[in-house]
A and B are shown apart, each in its own frame.
Chain A
């Protein structure tokens, strides 16, 4: 079946008009993206994506959150037909991705993890070429391109070669491509990695705007919890190729239950066991310990008493409501940011390599 998909892709295949409702499925309210037991195995043994099942509603901003190597990029690549799934089912607006890859790509916009705009063309030319390749009607092209350039704050640099753009400007240009091409589903792989805060804000704002103006469905990956929290209606937490948890940020956080109390200690705690009735230890380092309790404020006196009885001094105590990192901790058994640093470095390197 997968082989058949590859073959169909290389034929001139069918006409696809982006504005038409998809023919297949007929009910008309299929989810924007539906994956069932989607699996990718590299070299016969690396399970990059391991039988994941999810469904993205129309007009939703859906996040895949997970550390480096979780399988986020692989998932997106299978959807854009750049990588063949090893097994499983995948549909976009009811159209089977293996049977009609060209039709599916006609509904998608893709911003890869590493910068992919053409540095040897101007910003305007990048938008022009890729709007032609997305079959944007000729009469709409110029206006859409200039609107997008304006909106992304690039119009005064439109005719400069992209090699002279900053990393943030390149990213904005890639989002501008989505604004011009108006895909039904926009796939963003780590859209703000390596960006400065103001470019990041700009990208966030335009993602929301795309959804608002065109009803674009967005699937984005990120390892930034704040970003997922800020943008996503629902989040799938990925870890080692699997979806560990799926839900709205609020539900996921509520699912953790209670508050997180963080204690900084004046000496190493030597693995003292915190009694069950106080709460569960969710994270611990030599001189730091995090405890999940039903009510953080009420637990503080008990906790101080406990540590006093153990003769361990406390330097500070803080209480916070669970965040997505705590959610990740609960479902994946480790901290998200522990694994983040390496990824951030390599992403930055992508941009540098591109500018050479």
Chain B
């Protein structure tokens, strides 16, 4: 579903991704773990097409298409969702207005009919309930005045509404207390655990992986994938640390 080959990318002339290869099949949840500064967020931004993140080599094929050839909004319309490590506040624009426009823009890009205001609100209510986020929050401006945990839950409500084929979730668990972590984890399972969908789940913590059980786990270090294994790899990282696990031969 997503095939990344030998990807290199730089920011301000500094190489951050350095020959990264990774494949995620449909139906798979693939966890990415790695030390701070390894390039995890950079990978998610490069996949999203963020300006300033320059791809200098390699390829990314997403659902049979050259992802790197598409504009950011076209990537979204083709089914890619980015869950931001730091969701952005947009004063003056309500969640409802923003998400309805976004959803209808994506639907239009796929040749589907737009949802009416009523139809949209029905979907939004359902997804807000799933993530236990008060519907009133969705009437407020995008992420403005939201706590860290509310922002992350709102990200998942957005994902539920947009219903993407593939999600790259960047530290969606950071800033969540234990209860919220379970709600968010269950939300990810409900929305994305599907034979036709895929997830790249960037996290530091086993506790999210206890809820969202990954099929594969990869370690990203210094801009490339250095090890891939099953769920047990995450457990070993938790008990032994990155240095020990990465030190052994691949």
Check if A and B associate: no
Q: Give residues in B with beta carbon < 8 Å to A.
A: none
Q: Give residues in A with beta carbon < 8 Å to B.
A: none
